[in-house]
Amino acid sequence: MDSLKGKTTLITGASAGIGKATAYAFAKEGSNLVLIARRIEKLEEIKNDLEDTYGVKVFIDKVDVSDFEDCKRFFNSIPENLKTPDILVNNAGLAFGMEKLIEKPIEDIEKMIDVNVKGFIYITNLFVPLMVERGSGTIVNVGSIAGREVYPGGNVYCATKHAVKALSSALRIELVDTPIRVIEIAPGLVETEFSIVRFKGDKEKAKNVYKGLTPLYPEDIADLILYTATRPPHVQINEVVIMPTNQATTTIIHREENE
Ligand SMILES: NC(=O)c1ccc[n+]([C@@H]2O[C@H](COP(=O)([O-])OP(=O)(O)OC[C@H]3O[C@@H](n4cnc5c(N)ncnc54)[C@H](OP(=O)(O)O)[C@@H]3O)[C@@H](O)[C@H]2O)c1
């Protein structure tokens, strides 16, 4: 494993779920961190815990990745040595609802596109040029199996995750003559706050998404991100699809009754 000691990892959407678990996995291996999300109070708790437990340096900022002005403010205000992370994890993302496309509230549609697609592009375009200039770095993009298939009610979310896959491929092509590697991780069902956000706080509906099966946990994805990002520099794992054992596709899921 390529050592993370003294390296810097920037993680978007680090206040919960996969992003938070990734922060813990990387801190455990000695990486300093730059963590962003909108809920700064959650990031403060994580920063204090990681600094106390692992002795790494953690820089946090309240950033809405869907707002380019806010992304620029963040980029311009962070200390110079953090502007060029060794690893960039583009993880912030969300889904809203399961309505048909023609019935979906337009503000939900815009938010998914703004966060999942534009936010990903904003952060990439701000940070990757300096990684290229330095001549090293790893980009890990959190896509989804929704970027491989379309399921009923998935419409816009699936479109945004197809975009993450397309943009990851585009970056890989465009950076082929550099040492920068581009990795896309495409998970199936992971139990995080994702479904609570999707169903706008309805915890019962959210719980049903994972009913009757053992889902993936955020730590499983963090483990995979850590693995892919720490291969020797000549190894680029282009993409990984990862699902719970009882999931075969977005819709073929084996669920035990009474669980
Ligand atoms: N859970 C799954 O089943 C699953 C499956 C495949 C792919 N994914 C993908 O995995 C990624 C992480 O999701 P998760 O499952 O860990 O969900 P989660 O627990 O809801 O975490 C989402 C993270 O994104 C952040 N975020 C949302 N909007 C943001 C914005 N405008 N600006 C900055 N940060 C923002 C949230 O922080 P704040 O709310 O504090 O801003 C939070 O830290 C997403 O890209 C999601 O599409 C999830």
| Binding site membership of 115 for ligand 1 (Cβ less than 6 Å) | yes
Q: What confidence score (pLDDT) does residue 188 get?
A: 98
Instruction: Give the separation between CA 45 and CA 85, rounded to whole angstroms.
Output: 22
The reply to whether ligand 1 has any atom less than 6 angstroms from the CB of 144 is: yes
pLDDT at residue number 140 = 98
Ligand 1 geometric centre to CA of 92 (Å): 5
The model's pLDDT over 19-60, given as tens digits with 9 standing for 90+, comes to 999 999 999 999 999 999 999 999 999 999 999 999 999 999
Do residues 66 and 42 make contact, with C-beta atoms less than 8 angstroms apart? no
Q: Output the average pLDDT for the chain.
A: 97
Fold of the CATH domain 8-242: Rossmann fold (3.40.50)
Answer yes or no: is pLDDT of 259 > 80: no
pLDDT higher than 90, residue 258: no
> Does the pLDDT at position 148 exceed 70?
yes
**180-217 confidence digits (pLDDT tens):** 999 999 999 999 999 999 999 999 999 999 999 999 99
When pLDDT is averaged across residues 121-148 and rounded to a whole number, the result is 98
Q: Closest ligand 1 atom to the C-alpha of 221? A: 10
By annotation, the residues acting in catalysis are 157, 161
CA of 177 to the centre of ligand 1 (A): 31
How far is residue 246's CA from residue 71's CA, in Å, rounded to a whole number? 39
Dihedral of CA atoms 155, 161, 167, 173 in degrees, nearest 10, equals -110
CB atoms < 10 A from the CB of 51, how many?
15
For residue 2, the model assigns a pLDDT of 74
**Most informative mutation of 20, 91, 165 for ligand 1 (most atoms within 8 A of CB):** 91
